[in-house]
Amino acid sequence: MTGARGDQELVRFTLLGPLEVRMNDVDYAPTGPKVLQLLALLLMRAGQVVDSETIIRELWSQHPPRSVRKTMQTYVYHLRQCIERNGLAGSDVLRTRVPGYVFKVDPEQIDVFTFRRMFRRGRDLMADGRPAEAAKTLRAALALWTGPAMSNVPCGPVLSAYAVDLEEQQHAARYLRIQAEIDAGQHWDLIAELRSLVTENPHDEGLHGQLMRALGLSGRRLEALEMYRELRAKLNEELGLEPCADLQRLQQELLSVGR
């Protein structure tokens, strides 16, 4: 996208945290909550036509105003004005396409799409047996996050579902990044971070397993086994469950080391 001066100024759209529109380190995001909500929806579906019914459902859920289509068109107009007012070539970017609208920008201008691409690359590198490269790629992907997804946007049902999906992807990327660092021999450096994550997520058996493995590889096998004992007692007491099969196998591995 080009700026009003005709120079090639790359605009960045961030959704992994507060929604921001930046050009040359200046923030141009709209301030009206409905316009911000509309922009977030169009960015999440960048390059695709978002039909009017989806926009209406997102903006008003089950309680649309009487003149809903006219009101929606007003918000589209305000978004175009905001984009054009700041030299972002809005009439070319935000296009009317039956049965709705499409936001035409390069996906690499939107942090969500960059994150997803880097996450896929990290998975591929792990599958190829290149954990150090995977860890580096996944760290860069996670660094794009500055807070909860779309934290300044009043999300309706459509954006709320996107936000949940993004948070799940962030969790999966973090888990894979930690596993990559363990496989790359960086287990010592992970123990403090994993202790904090386990405290925040006391029933997350995957994180417990990663901490147990990091402790075991660091020569702290007894601490890892004590962690397993404590987790098993907590799961039995609170949920009536046993640790998952992966954790049970890890416990047996740790026990066999001392025999």
Q: How many angstroms separate the CA atoms of 47 and 26, rounded?
A: 24
CA dist 71 → 51, 75, 200, 204 (Å) = 15, 7, 43, 45
For residue 22, what pLDDT band results from cuts at 50, 70 and 90? confident
| pTM exceeds cut of 0.75 | yes
**In the predicted structure, residue 7 carries a pLDDT above the cut 70:** no
- The number of angstroms, rounded, from the C-alpha of 204 to the middle of its chain's C-alpha atoms is 19
- The token duo for 53 is 């019914």
For residue 187, what pLDDT band results from cuts at 50, 70 and 90? very high
Mean pLDDT of all residues in 46-74: 94
Asked if 243 contacts 235 with a C-beta cutoff of 8 angstroms, the reply is: yes
Domain spans in the chain, listed from the N-terminal domain onward = 12-107, 111-257
- Give the pLDDT confidence score for residue 89 in this predicted structure: 59
- Pick the closest to residue 90 from 105, 71, 110 (CA basis): 105
Percent of the chain with pLDDT over 90: 81
Would you identify the CATH topology of the domain 12-107?
Arc Repressor Mutant, subunit A (1.10.10)
**In the predicted structure, residue 3 carries a pLDDT above the cut 50:** no
**In the predicted structure, residue 37 carries a pLDDT above the cut 50:** yes
For residue 11, what pLDDT band results from cuts at 50, 70 and 90? confident
* DSSP per-residue letters across the chain: ---TTSS-PPPEEE-SSS-EEEETTEE----SHHHHHHHHHHHHTTTS-EEHHHHHHHHHTT---TTHHHHHHHHHHHHHHHHHHTTS-HHHHEEEETTEEEE---GGGBHHHHHHHHHHHHHHHHHTT-HHHHHHHHHHHHTT--SSTTTTS---HHHHHHHHHHHHHHHHHHHHHHHHHHHTT-HHHHHHHHHHHHHH-TT-HHHHHHHHHHHHHTT-HHHHHHHHHHHHHHHHHHHS-PPPHHHHHHHHHHHHHT-
User: How many residues are given for the chain?
Assistant: 259
Q: Angle CA(193)–CA(180)–CA(115) in degrees, nearest 5?
A: 85
More confident residue, 253 or 85: 253
Least confidently predicted of 13-22, 29-38, 228-237: 29-38
Q: How many angstroms separate the CA atoms of 150 and 112, rounded?
A: 11
- What angle do helix axes 157-183 and 205-217 make, rounded to 10 degrees? 20
Asked if 54 contacts 157 with a C-beta cutoff of 8 angstroms, the reply is: no
More confident residue, 11 or 223: 223
Mean pLDDT of all residues in 121-145: 98
Would you identify the CATH topology of the domain 111-257?
1.25.40
Mean pLDDT of all residues in 137-166: 97
- Please list the residues that pair with 27 across neighbouring strands: 22
Check if 12-107 and 111-257 are the same fold: no
- Give the pLDDT confidence score for residue 87 in this predicted structure: 64
- Give the pLDDT confidence score for residue 4 in this predicted structure: 39
- Give the pLDDT confidence score for residue 23 in this predicted structure: 80
Mean pLDDT of all residues in 111-126: 98
